[in-house]
Amino acid sequence: MTAELETTVHGRVAPGFEGVRDVFVANFAERGDLGAAVSVYHHGEEVVGLWGGVAERSTGRPYGEDTLQLVFSTSKGVVAVCVGLLIERGQLDPDAPVAEYWPEFAAGGKAGIPVSSLLCHEAGLPVLEGHLDLDELLAWDPVVEMLAAQTPLWEPGTAHGYHALTFGWLVGELIRRISGRTVGTFLADEVSGPLGLDLWIGLPEAQESRVAPLTMSFDSLATMDPEELAQLAARFAPDSLGFRAVFLDGSFGVFSEENSLLNSRELRAAEVPAANAVTTADSLGRLYAATIGEIDGVRLLAPSTVDALRTPRNLGPDLVLGGDTSFGLGMMCHNDYTPFLGPGSFGHYGAGGSVAFADPASGTAFAYVMNKMQMDLNGDDRSLLLIHAVRDAIG
């Protein structure tokens, strides 16, 4: 392996994976990346570990191997791994009613909703039916109490719609009720600790100096087909279900350079499990590698549990996002809207460009994180071309 590859890109690449390096370098030269990192594991061994660019424009701080990044909905895959551990230990039955673990959830006609409906975005609870101030949104109890009292927007199990933010509170409360620990504490104890990962939901203040601030790019809108742009605008208009779900009626602001909340200590310190995991590319790559194989003596999930997480439970029009999405138990499944390495791959994309997944068939785990966000919820050319290069490398 090489120690240093280019003036702005550093890291390691195993023979045969040079094409991944070439795409990563081109992301900076041709696709506007600012600071980013990519990690690939193949059959339990690191084959790509690259990082480069600038972590912080204002200071010129370089993007390093240990630079931390908030990864938005890539967080959901992390939460799904925690769920997998509870399923494997017999503490959580996906087919049991949510109310069996969380009695208050039975309100609003939800007594029969199974756990799988929460995990597969079928529960009809993608929005909050009431206003909460930001401090209440970040405090946990006010949100889960509101969700427990709500009536579903559609009959659970009959359709699916992306629970962009509510997923984390719903599933996180299940984890808390079963384990007696918040999702952030459970993650630290059961996943990050055993694997030695830099991965948190609820970032310790001592780690703040390592975080790369996010910036927003609207470049992708300039090249979008006018009809597609009009559809996007309608899907996320202020009164739309998409806007209400993704931005909680604007409570978290919208993606813009002016939205200081996205780069605040306040957000990173809280536990918003659907969207505020802070991590590195290598830690995400190791996490997914440990779901399908052994990493440094640790394997997180048995093959049968992985199969439960990655088996598609739905496929079709998403009532929130509009495209055809497919979900297993908390994981996005490979399809045209969320492409990974192929059928059977599982993981999660994050708003702006981050993505992490595993492909059991090829024994591959992949993670890409960045600080320059594009206007996408399901990846862009930066990650897609890296994934294509990985596919070419493994044959």
Domain count, the chain: 1
CATH number, position 311: 3.40.710.10
Q: Any catalytic annotation for residue 75?
A: no
Q: Is 374 contained in some domain? A: yes
Q: Is 336 contained in some domain? A: yes
Q: Is 31 contained in some domain? A: no
Query: 26 vs 52, 122, 253, CA distance in Å?
Result: 12, 39, 32
- Catalytic member of 39, 58, 73, 256: 73
The secondary element (H helix, E strand) that includes residue 316 is: strand 314-317
Phi (first) and psi of residue 148, to 5 degrees: -65, -30
Domain that holds residue 306: 67-79+186-279+295-355+365-378
pLDDT (tens, 9 = 90+) of the chain, 395 residues, equals: 444 454 589 999 999 999 999 999 999 999 999 999 999 999 999 999 999 999 999 999 999 999 999 999 999 999 999 999 999 999 999 999 999 999 999 999 999 999 999 999 999 999 999 989 999 999 999 999 999 999 999 999 999 999 999 999 999 999 999 999 999 999 999 999 999 999 999 999 999 999 999 998 766 666 677 877 787 777 788 889 998 998 887 777 655 555 678 899 999 999 999 999 999 999 999 999 999 999 999 999 999 999 999 999 999 999 999 889 999 999 999 998 889 999 999 999 999 999 999 999 999 999 999 999 987 767 799 999 999 999 999 98
331-336 long-range contacts (CB < 8 A, ≥24 apart) are 331/76, 331/77, 331/80, 332/76, 332/77, 332/357
At 324 the three-state DSSP class reads strand
Q: Are strands 346-349 and 332-333 parallel, antiparallel or unpaired?
A: antiparallel
Q: Is 394 contained in some domain? A: no
In angstroms, the CA 316 to CA 318 distance is 6
| Assigned token pair, 348 | 């999660």
Distinct helix (H) and strand (E) counts, the chain: 15, 15
Residue tagged 């087919």 (tokens): 95
pTM of the model: 0.95
DSSP E strands in 230-311: the ranges are 277-279
